[in-house]
Structure 1
Amino acid sequence: MTLPRISVSVKSAILHDDQVLLLSYDDHSGFHYNLPGGKAQEGESLRDAVRRKVQQETGLDVTVDRLLLVTEYVPATWNDEFGTVQKTQFTFLSHPLGGTTPRFQDPPDPIQIGFEWTPIGKLTEVYLLPRINEPLIAALHGRLSDPFIDRW
């Protein structure tokens, strides 16, 4: 039996003054926002992956708090809309240590446009990928009964 290839990634909902840091992108999916994060490396804990990816993508150092969401992407369910690799994403609440002014990575990501501190209440108005706006808001307010999201 061959084991399936599954990508494991982390995201960080960095919270500061009731605002969440979003990264803006323009790519094949069009203009959208993402939370900072990316793939975990083999042998790396998920919290360590959050700290590393946030530092790489924003220059910010963070403390990693609680797990907010687990999001699953099964390609066949979504007609391969976001690729052919199955994905599992763990989203953690984080808080900045020190500064709150993000910077672009070096070298810059060619599809990243900018950064935006977005009030929690305005998260429903942005195109966030994966599409976790409502569960993210509920999780940030401690009102999410099931942290498992099976829609991308």
Structure 2
Amino acid sequence: MAEPVTPTIRTAAKAVVIHDGRVLLQRANWEGQECYFLPGGGQHPGEPLDATARREVDEETGLTVTVEKMLWLREYIGAHHENADTEAGTHRIEAIFHCTPEGDPGQLGGHAEDELQTGLEWVELEKVPSLNLLPHALRQPIAALATREPSTGYLGDVA
């Protein structure tokens, strides 16, 4: 009988960086598929989540951002999703913040890019639903930022 897996909870911050009706996304190659991710990553012990978002955006994109407000809280509990057999020990909690760039948003190029990252792209908000943005549950809420004040809150355990 296999030993039960005790999940480790990882807290992270992601950034929805908006400028002129576009959102900044990381292009990536993940598990053999071309996809997009929001910039962001893991929280350091003692680091506030808004500071995590600022640091991660700087590292991955080269931009300095102002964190405006938290939009959503997302969980991912691997045991509840498609790859439960291999991700039973995964439990992520992500705070997703609305951010605006300081300085020139065209000057991109981080100094600590993710290993999966293949580029950075400003994408029109209306086009986000047609992209392979991961997690898929973020596509519609991000696109909605183009036309209205976002609904905020807990997104749940979504992939």
TM-score by length of 1: 0.87
Instruction: Give me the TM-score of the superposition, normalised by structure 2.
Output: 0.84
Question: For structure 2, which runs of at least 5 residues remain unmatched after alignment?
Answer: 1-5
Supply the RMSD in Å over aligned alpha carbons.
2.2
Number of paired residues? 150
1:31-50 to structure 2, matched below 5 A, reads 31-50=34-53
Work out which of the residue numbers 141, 144, 150 in structure 1 matches 2:151. 144
Deviations 1:43-92 (A, max 9, x none): 00001001100000000000001111111111111143683310111110
For residues 70-124 of structure 1, give each alpha carbon's deviation from its aligned partner in whole angstroms, at most 9, with x where no partner exists. Answer: 1111111114368331011111000000011253333654421111111111111
Q: Does 1:86 align with 2:84?
A: no
Contact 1:68 1:136 in 2 (8 A): no
1:13 lines up with 2:16 in the alignment: yes
Equivalent-residue separation in structure 2 for 1:139 and 1:87 (angstroms) = 24
State the Cα distance separating 1:137 from its structure 2 match: 2.9
| Aligned residue number for residue 134 of structure 2 | 129
Residues 45 and 8 from structure 1, CA distance in 2 versus in 1: closer, same or farther, beyond 3 angstroms?
same
Gaps of 5+ in 1: none
Point out the structure with max Rg over C-alpha. 2
Mean Cα deviation higher: 56-65 or 68-77: 68-77
The 10-residue stretch of structure 1 (103-112 or 91-100) with the greater mean CA deviation from structure 2: 103-112
Q: Per the alignment, do residues 56 and 94 of structure 1 end up closer, same or farther by CA in structure 2, a change over 3 Å counting?
A: same
